[in-house]
Structure 1
Amino acid sequence: MADAPEQGFFHYLAEQARVAFGADIAWVLLTRDGESELIVAEPSGAPLRQAAQAMHVALAAGGDAVRVDEGGGTLPDAPWFVREGVRACVARALRDPDGALRGHVALVFRRAVPAAAVYGDALGILASYARRSVLGYRELRRRADDWRGLVTQYEALFHSAPVLINAFDQDGRCTLWNEECERRFGWSIAEINRQDDPLALFYPDPSDRARVRESVDSAPCRTFREWHPLTRAGERLTVMWSNVSLPDGRIINIGLDATESRRAQAAIARMATVDSLTGCWNRAEILRRMSLKLNAARLDPGAAFTALMLDLDFFKQVNDRYGHLAGDAALRHFCDQLRACVRGGDAIGRLGGEEFLVLLDGDDPGTALAVCDRLREALRNHALEFGDDPLMLSASGGIARFVPGDTGTSDVIRRADLALYRAKREGRDRAVVYDG
């Protein structure tokens, strides 16, 4: 209930009241959270505690004072008052700054007391002083304890929350770095603050750091913005950061790690555009890319392109003799060799079955012929290892250039297909340029 300084104060209050007013007994009863504590100027016992509790019940029933003397009033219902021969009793409520009843101070007389109301007024002054100097302090301390408890809870929330929370001061020193930050980035707050420029750990590029500082110092933004900091292991993250301004001017940075989500989105997007067996663009994607090239070539002659249509020779025989697993392996092997023969900007797509389309920048058929030559040589030098028998593969190619009169992708594909048919008719394992 009361700590040692409070007990000392209320014991002093009871003793001084007893001496000053000539009372036989004086006490202070304090209550809080359903418990009570009796502080008296003389030795106390259970009967006196019962009497003090009865007095407290009487005060709680209404009013700030209880006064009993020859002029009137009724003593609280407790045998102790009768046994002690009490002829006068004065009590005043002790209330905290919010007005809640926290106890009372009482004077007990075994003699008749004239003008007991005067004693009540004097106790009222003492009660007011106690409320301001002790109970008020107690309430402030209680509120401070509550605030400290809240601060502790919020600190625990900050440090254990499953989101990234940090803060940096104007000098770049990290002042808040929660557990999720340490887990995801790999540095402790002590390691960060040993750096001359802590932000350089996450953003090695000076221009990136400048934008980060601007977003926090001069233009904090509550809406989430995407940033790409580095981890200690060198992983580039995708983090959505929001900057929350506190009343004291500090900025708290709250981040959501979207790295895995973005990777999953990219994987889904890739699945929609890539052939799952060979890793080349699928039919829809290679035709979309061809359409973009055709539109660009219509506007700019320098953007002309060449289409190379390829067909894996005797593919049906591979399937029939060795099975579809061998056929799948043959397609993958063919594409691996093809990728090694094209340039970095060239696009490879699977139109279906064993038929592929390569888009090459420029309108020189010689470039496509050189690709076919390299591919045929690679297939001869690198047989497909499947089972006990190495499989020798070959391919035929048809080459067609974009011409200004082409109205759609089908025009270019039709010419490349005619050239491919001619290559097959002439014996396969060769490439033919469409010549009209």
Structure 2
Amino acid sequence: MRDEQADPDMLRRIQNAIDMLPSPIFIKDADCRYMACNRAFEQYIGLPRARIIGASVHDVAPAELAAIYEKADRDLIADGGTQTYETSVRYADGSHRDVIFYKSVFHSAEGNPDGISGVILDITERKRLENELSKAAREDFLTGAVNLRTFYELANQEFSRFKRTGEAFSLLVLDLDHFKRINDTLGHEAGDDALRQFVQIVRANLREQDIFARTGGDEFRLLLPGTAQSGALLLAERIRDEVNRVNLCAPNGSAILSMSAGLCRSLPDDTGIDDIVRRADVALYQAKAAGRNAVKAHPCEA
């Protein structure tokens, strides 16, 4: 009876079969040297199979990573079982991809650890879709500003920090003037364009830590961590001035944009972010009552 393990034709058929699989597959012996791989793994490493078989990870991976990879393999052989983890890798063609490594120890006929078999699953597209879904859940789809739910999530964190450290912050409630009139006379497409241009202006004036949210219609909130009311007032006036330079053009007319804003700062007696929002809303109503295109600060000194 012939030994099928040593049958060259059988080995060739197995190699042809795994070469047809799109995911990189590799097999290492108990000394962590490659003993088999498929064509997809050659493309991942960037070396022909003849250079891979018999090589260690030190021969195919950057020096700073080889020691880490070898330790993980030797730990797996010592512990037995399987190993699964997500990571980002750089393919030989220079592309970066998100992958899952699945590794498993296999045993000899005597039951001793005999090596590791592994597969690399490309999850780049899945991660991209996950990121898009996460972004969609956090942002307003039209303007890209964060949505109301995300505002409260971030603002509550900032409020907790304020109560813990005493470092005050300022809050602006921003509103485009006569937005309904723009929609009614120039059309909803022009209204959408007005919102997008407004958001671009605001964002261009913000720091990374600032929290800017669309809370509904043409109303927005801007939380400025560690910013005194005087500094927030200067920022709001700069934004207002830039908004006034926008001439919104549509097939049936045009309009100059303007905005009104209400401003206040956090106070020691505040019990939550809504206390601060209410004061900013009061200041916004004062700005509108004063004729719009204005910034008003709430008299909220302690």
Fold conserved between structures, TM > 0.5: yes
Q: Which moved more, 1:401-410 or 1:273-282?
A: 401-410
Aligned residue for 1:166, secondary structure, equals strand
Counterpart Cα distance in 1 of 2:215 and 2:98:
35
In structure 2, what is the equivalent of residue 158 of structure 1?
A: 18
Aligned residue for 2:270, secondary structure, equals coil
TM-score (norm 1): 0.59
In structure 2, what is the equivalent of residue 361 of structure 1?
A: 225
Any stretches of 5+ residues in structure 2 without a counterpart? 109-113
Change in CA separation of 1:374 and 1:178 when aligned onto 2, cut-off 3 Å:
farther
| Count of residues in correspondence between the two structures | 289
Aligned residue for 1:229, secondary structure, equals strand
8 Å Cα contact 1:363/1:402 also seen in 2 = no
Aligned residue for 1:267, secondary structure, equals helix
Counterpart Cα distance in 2 of 1:145 and 1:243:
23
In structure 1, what is the equivalent of residue 127 of structure 2?
A: 262
8 Å Cα contact 1:174/1:189 also seen in 2 = no
Aligned residue for 2:104, secondary structure, equals strand
1:282 corresponds, among 128, 147, 150, to: 147
Task: Give 1:390-405 correspondences, 5 Å limit.
Answer: 390-405=254-269
Task: Give 1:28-427 correspondences, 5 Å limit.
Answer: 139-140=1-2, 143-144=3-4, 147-167=7-27, 176-182=36-42, 185=44, 187-189=46-48, 198-200=60-62, 206=64, 209-219=66-76, 222-247=82-107, 249-302=114-167, 304-387=168-251, 389-427=253-291
Change in CA separation of 1:347 and 1:161 when aligned onto 2, cut-off 3 Å:
same
Change in CA separation of 1:294 and 1:341 when aligned onto 2, cut-off 3 Å:
same
Counterpart Cα distance in 1 of 2:118 and 2:4:
27
8 Å Cα contact 2:104/2:118 also seen in 1 = yes
What letter is aligned with 2:75? S
Return the offset for 1:339. Answer: 0.7
Counterpart Cα distance in 2 of 1:171 and 1:340:
56
Q: Which moved more, 1:363-372 or 1:213-222?
A: 213-222
TM-score (norm 2): 0.83
Counterpart Cα distance in 2 of 1:306 and 1:360:
5
Percent sequence identity over aligned pairs: 28
8 Å Cα contact 1:173/1:198 also seen in 2 = no
Q: Which moved more, 1:347-356 or 1:399-408?
A: 399-408
Larger radius of gyration: 1
What letter is aligned with 2:46? W
Return the offset for 1:149. Answer: 4.5
Which of 1 and 2 has higher RCO (CA within 8 Å, sep 6+)? 2
Change in CA separation of 1:425 and 1:261 when aligned onto 2, cut-off 3 Å:
same
Change in CA separation of 1:169 and 1:313 when aligned onto 2, cut-off 3 Å:
farther
Return the offset for 1:423. Answer: 1.4
Counterpart Cα distance in 2 of 1:262 and 1:228:
11
1:428 corresponds, among 266, 286, 292, to: 292
8 Å Cα contact 2:186/2:254 also seen in 1 = no
Return the offset for 1:171. Answer: 9.8
Any stretches of 5+ residues in structure 1 without a counterpart? 1-138
RMSD of the TM alignment (CA)? 3.1
